[in-house]
Structure 1
């Protein structure tokens, strides 16, 4: 299994998911727009979805953010992100490579995706929020570690969403999810 906090060259097994397989999201939906290699601009219905763009954050440029700064980053991503004209498409083949094809649990589903920092900083592009996205009204489908498919509402409590996004954080969130 790759993911769940593993780097691309290590593997994890069920024994490593100490929060419980039924309380850990393994996979979920992420919209990926078509790749445009023509250089003629980006257009079409897939690009009308606002969450297919990485929005830049103005202020914070810290490679690894501890909890107080990560909470501020999440707030800035939702409320103070630069306008769409100052964004890059998340197409899975863009400047960010695979970043367009994955999501994390910094923000609930179908919210802004954001990043801060730049490639010159130690640790790469710094902190980012890459949200789960879908074209379903109100949320996204996720696959739990035990094989159950659940619908995660856009309105899910952010603490619950973050809890089901860890494999060994010692949170118990299944009842609220």
Structure 2
């Protein structure tokens, strides 16, 4: 009986470690709701230099995918891009990290499935809500709105200051931060500062 009690915790630990571990590499499972994109090419581009294309895939039966089995020690940003045509174009920032990522492209665009993509999606949803609130304001004051926007961005950057999402948000939206918020972010978060100054 003592052997069973000893073996049971070892077995449970093994199952938990195996179940919680993420395989190296990534897979992006894309779903495109707009049927006019059928047969079109989706590009995986550099976030900052959109002329740089890393990979491409074709939309077949409303789906596309990208994958790589190499371990990703340091997650990085890319941009999923469906070129313009009669329905318009779609661009979606995505974090490339170990795990399975779902990218939905349609009336709403979103990513999910990994920790950092969920954090990026939280920001994008928060930004949509912030914009809706601003549009509903009756007494629009641009200066006050910019201060509120800076505080909103600073909050999300601070929350993600130790990961690539924070670096991305700072790099893309720094022109909307007040000088005080910019300075505070780079002073308070050394890793963030090192990454944005690379």
More strand by share: 2
More helix by share: 2
Q: Same fold (TM over 0.5)?
A: no
Q: How would you bin the TM-score normalised by the shorter chain?
A: under 0.3
Output the TM-score relative to the length of structure 1: 0.25
Higher relative contact order (CA 8 A, sep 6+): 1
